[in-house]
């Protein structure tokens, strides 16, 4: 990890993000804030990767950082009027679960639909890369096409998806990180 | 802090913690932040935090797709929030090259195009066609002021009136000095229906022979269009060579010493561990000379060094010298034989 290897970083993210998100959601009950916290923890981890000395286990460090961040978020709710209103609603918690869940499911289904509509060649490359986590090189070997072509096709698939998902203001962000799954 | 967690708090139901009054929670958090909390207050906050563990895990309610959408979304935020490592960047393959192109000021772009043609052009009205004979080199000036030195046995053609795009067709081999236009018009060299390259500010070498096509980039940037130019493009970096035999998409990329590929323009050929077989191909393509070897193994002999090309006799003499063979010429036919002891 301290070598600054981005693959290791992505693997680390994949390993912990879910438990950290659940931990944050249990206390905050607001997906926006939870996303923000996970983002902060990992951004911080990446920035400090060269210098960070963790005396406890990495896991303990991550959950500790997460708790610290959760506390900060709750404190700042007090001063932020926008959140105050939300805070007052919190007792009816169950509603949030459903609403927040829907948010991700809608994104996922819009994405799925767009993927299905991709031209066959592009769809294949996209699925192999994003869902089966194959590297470009592996895809090139499997499909018997040059690596450069895989890159091109992937770029083109993402462009199409982005265009189709314009109504999701942040969808481009999701698509922007295709590279990390190489 | 948890050490002091007293029993009196455990009397409270979990539900009571979960529904802790928000003002109380804020108070506890403030105390914690300022380090003024009593052990009891610390324990109360800890208990609140732990009590939440019994709540359902949000992500378990998501479908697999929903889960992966969330995973992707947060990672994107991480990526967007920091100076990302280079390899995470999405290469904007189709645009970045032209962006740089625009940034190049008043550029005189040198581009060496070397290649041997294998089919003749379709002549069209309004099209200018320049040809060179075997062994001839000629300097041409294009309508935009760009200069092309054609090597032997080569054909260059282009429309008398260029539209937006400055496009020339090349069969064979040439050395281009491409001038930059004020309105940043693209300059494209096409060697076939399935292959062309766009000048992005650069010096490079392209060679199309019967045995294959070869592009060598000296410096700057070129974009190669393999077939469907919208989709299959590739950008070369300095010192790189790509070559392919038939299908452009089946190219190989490697690093080379670029100089020897454009040396012909200085009226010499530079060889480095080049087999006589390859030399024979050059003689065939550029000078129209058919090679015959008394002993086929002779063609595996490798030569290094440079030989002059001004004069075919001298060229052959140089090759013979470098490879310790005798070369005799009869018209377009040359015969390579082992040197007598």
Q: Are B194 and B239 found together in one domain?
A: yes
Confidence (pLDDT) at A66? 93
Residue A40: closest CA among B185, B41, B81, B211 = B81
Q: Are B231 and B323 found together in one domain?
A: no
Confidence (pLDDT) at B101? 34
The beta-strand segments (E) located in B256-301 are 268-275, 290-293
Q: How confident is the model at residue A80 (pLDDT cuts 50, 70, 90)?
A: low
Q: Are B289 and B282 in contact (CB under 8 A)?
A: no
Asked whether the predicted pLDDT for residue B187 surpasses 90, the reply is: no
A102 touches chain B (CB under 8 A): no
B297 touches chain A (CB under 8 A): no
Confidence (pLDDT) at B202? 59
Domains A1-91 and A97-182 share a fold: no
A92 touches chain B (CB under 8 A): no
Instruction: Enter the CATH code of domain A1-91.
Output: 1.10.1740.10
Asked whether the predicted pLDDT for residue B189 surpasses 80, the reply is: yes
C-alpha B118/C-alpha B320 separation (Å) is 27
Q: Are B162 and B290 found together in one domain?
A: no
C-alpha B5/C-alpha B47 separation (Å) is 8
Q: Are B47 and B131 found together in one domain?
A: no
The domain at A97-182 falls in which architecture? Answer: Orthogonal Bundle (1.10)
C-alpha B246/C-alpha B192 separation (Å) is 11
Confidence (pLDDT) at B4? 40
ipTM given for this complex:
0.73
Q: How confident is the model at residue B248 (pLDDT cuts 50, 70, 90)?
A: confident
C-alpha A104/C-alpha A31 separation (Å) is 10
Give me the percent of chain B exceeding a pLDDT of 90: 0
Asked whether the predicted pLDDT for residue B106 surpasses 50, the reply is: no
Mean pLDDT to the nearest integer, B330-337: 87
Contact A173 B76 (CB under 8 A): yes
Q: Are B324 and B339 in contact (CB under 8 A)?
A: yes
| Number of separate domains in chain B | 4
Contact A108 B58 (CB under 8 A): no
Please state which of the ranges B80-89, B162-171, B244-253, B266-275 shows the lowest mean pLDDT.
B80-89
Max avg pLDDT among A73-77, A118-122, B205-209: A118-122
Mean pLDDT to the nearest integer, B184-211: 75
pLDDT: which is higher, B20 or B119: B20
Burial (CB < 10 A; 0-12, 13-18, 19+), residue B257, is: exposed
**Among B206, B229, B259, where does a domain finish?**
B259
Residue-wise pLDDT tens digits, A36-49: 999 999 988 888 77
Q: Are B129 and B239 found together in one domain?
A: yes
Q: Are B254 and B126 found together in one domain?
A: yes
A26 touches chain B (CB under 8 A): yes
Q: Which residue of chain B is at minimal alpha-carbon distance from A153?
A: B231
Backbone angles phi, psi at B46, to 5 degrees: -60, -45
CATH code of residue B199: 2.60.120.1440
Contacting residues of B for A75, CB less than 8 Å apart: 26, 29-30, 33
The structure tokens listed for B35 are: 């380090």
Q: Are B90 and A155 in contact (CB under 8 A)?
A: yes
Q: How confident is the model at residue B153 (pLDDT cuts 50, 70, 90)?
A: confident
The beta-strand segments (E) located in B45-165 are 108-113, 127-131, 138-141, 147-150, 155-159
Confidence (pLDDT) at A19? 95
Half-sphere exposure of B2 (CA within 13 A, CB side): 5
C-alpha B209/C-alpha B282 separation (Å) is 9
Mean pLDDT to the nearest integer, A66-73: 91
Q: Are B100 and B222 found together in one domain?
A: yes
Asked whether the predicted pLDDT for residue A148 surpasses 70, the reply is: yes
Q: What are the domain boundaries of chain A?
A: 1-91, 97-182
Q: Are B282 and B319 found together in one domain?
A: yes
Asked whether the predicted pLDDT for residue A64 surpasses 80, the reply is: yes
The structure tokens listed for A96 are: 């949030």
Distance of CA A116 to the CA centre of its chain: 21
Q: Are B199 and B224 in contact (CB under 8 A)?
A: no
Mean pLDDT to the nearest integer, A101-121: 84
C-alpha B298/C-alpha B315 separation (Å) is 18
The structure tokens listed for A8 are: 């290791």
Beta-bridge partners for B189: B168, B197
Q: Where are the alpha helices (DSSP H) in B93-245?
A: 96-103
Residue B309: closest CA among B299, B324, B319, B301 = B319
Q: Are B207 and B295 found together in one domain?
A: no
Q: Are B170 and B154 in contact (CB under 8 A)?
A: yes
Of B49, B60, B79, the CB nearest to A177: B79
Confidence (pLDDT) at B82? 61
**Among B223, B239, B259, where does a domain finish?**
B259
Of B25, B67, B73, the CB nearest to A74: B25
Of A46, A71, A74, the CB nearest to B82: A46
Domain hosting B39: range is 2-54
Confidence (pLDDT) at B128? 85
Q: Are A178 and A154 in contact (CB under 8 A)?
A: yes
Q: How confident is the model at residue A16 (pLDDT cuts 50, 70, 90)?
A: very high
Contacting residues of B for A108, CB less than 8 Å apart: 63, 65-66, 68-69
CATH code of residue B308: 3.55.50.30
Contacting residues of A for B82, CB less than 8 Å apart: 43, 46-47
- Residue A90 distance to chain B (closest CA, Å): 10
Q: Are B82 and B101 found together in one domain?
A: no
Confidence (pLDDT) at B236? 80
Asked whether the predicted pLDDT for residue B242 surpasses 80, the reply is: yes
Q: Are B289 and B320 found together in one domain?
A: yes
**Inter-axis angle of helices B64-81 and A6-28, to 10 degrees?**
110
Of B29, B58, B91, the CB nearest to A21: B58
Beta-bridge partners for B308: B268
**Among B209, B224, B259, where does a domain finish?**
B259
- Coil, helix or strand for B258? coil
Confidence (pLDDT) at B203? 58
Q: Are B112 and B27 found together in one domain?
A: no
């Amino acid at each position: 990890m301290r070598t600054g290897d981005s693959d290791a970083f992505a693997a680390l993210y994949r390993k912990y993000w879910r438990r950290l998100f659940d931990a944050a959601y249990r206390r905050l009950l607001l997906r926006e804030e939870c996303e923000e916290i996970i983002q902060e923890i990992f951004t911080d981890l990446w920035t400090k990767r060269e210098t960070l000395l963790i005396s406890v286990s990495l896991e303990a460090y991550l959950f500790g950082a997460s708790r610290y961040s959760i506390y900060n978020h709750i404190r700042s709710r007090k001063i932020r009027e926008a959140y105050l209103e939300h805070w007052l609603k919190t007792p009816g918690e169950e509603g949030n679960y459903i609403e927040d869940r829907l948010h991700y499911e809608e994104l996922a289904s819009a994405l799925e639909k767009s993927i299905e509509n991709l031209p066959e060649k592009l769809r294949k490359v996209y699925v192999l890369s994003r869902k089966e986590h194959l590297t470009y090189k592996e895809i090139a070997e499997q499909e018997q096409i040059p690596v450069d072509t895989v890159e091109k096709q992937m770029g083109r698939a993402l462009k199409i998806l982005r265009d189709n998902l314009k109504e999701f203001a942040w969808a481009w962000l999701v698509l922007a990180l295709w590279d990390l799954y190489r | 802090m948890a050490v002091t967690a007293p029993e009196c708090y455990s009397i409270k139901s979990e539900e009571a913690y979960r529904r802790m009054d928000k003002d109380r929670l804020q108070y506890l958090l403030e105390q914690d932040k300022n380090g003024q909390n009593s052990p009891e207050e610390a324990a109360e906050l800890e208990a609140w935090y732990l009590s939440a563990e019994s709540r359902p895990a949000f992500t378990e309610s998501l479908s697999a797709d929903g889960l992966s959408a969330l995973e992707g979304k947060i990672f994107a935020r991480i990526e967007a929030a920091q100076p990302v490592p280079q390899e995470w960047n999405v290469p904007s393959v189709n645009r970045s090259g032209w962006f740089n192109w625009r940034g190049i000021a008043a550029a005189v772009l040198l581009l060496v195009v070397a290649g041997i043609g294998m089919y003749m052009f379709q002549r069209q009205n309004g099209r200018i066609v320049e040809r060179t004979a075997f062994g001839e080199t000629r300097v041409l000036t294009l309508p935009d002021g760009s200069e092309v030195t054609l090597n032997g046995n080569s054909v260059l053609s282009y429309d008398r009136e260029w539209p937006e795009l400055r496009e020339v067709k090349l069969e064979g081999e040439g050395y281009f000095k491409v001038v930059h236009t004020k309105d940043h018009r693209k300059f494209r060299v096409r060697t076939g229906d399935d292959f062309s390259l766009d000048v992005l500010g650069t010096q490079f070498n392209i060679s199309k022979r019967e045995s294959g096509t070869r592009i060598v980039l000296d410096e700057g940037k070129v974009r190669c269009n393999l077939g469907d130019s919208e989709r299959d493009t590739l950008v070369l970096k300095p010192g790189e060579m790509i070559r392919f035999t038939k299908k452009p998409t089946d190219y190989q990329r490697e690093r080379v010493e670029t100089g020897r590929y454009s040396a012909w323009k200085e009226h010499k050929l530079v060889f480095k561990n080049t087999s006589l077989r390859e030399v024979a191909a050059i003689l065939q393509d550029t000078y129209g000379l058919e090679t015959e070897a008394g002993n086929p193994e002779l063609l595996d002999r490798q030569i290094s060094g440079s030989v002059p090309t001004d004069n075919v006799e001298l060229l052959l003499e140089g090759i013979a010298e470098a490879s310790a063979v005798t070369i005799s010429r009869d018209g377009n036919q040359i015969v390579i034989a082992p040197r007598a002891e």
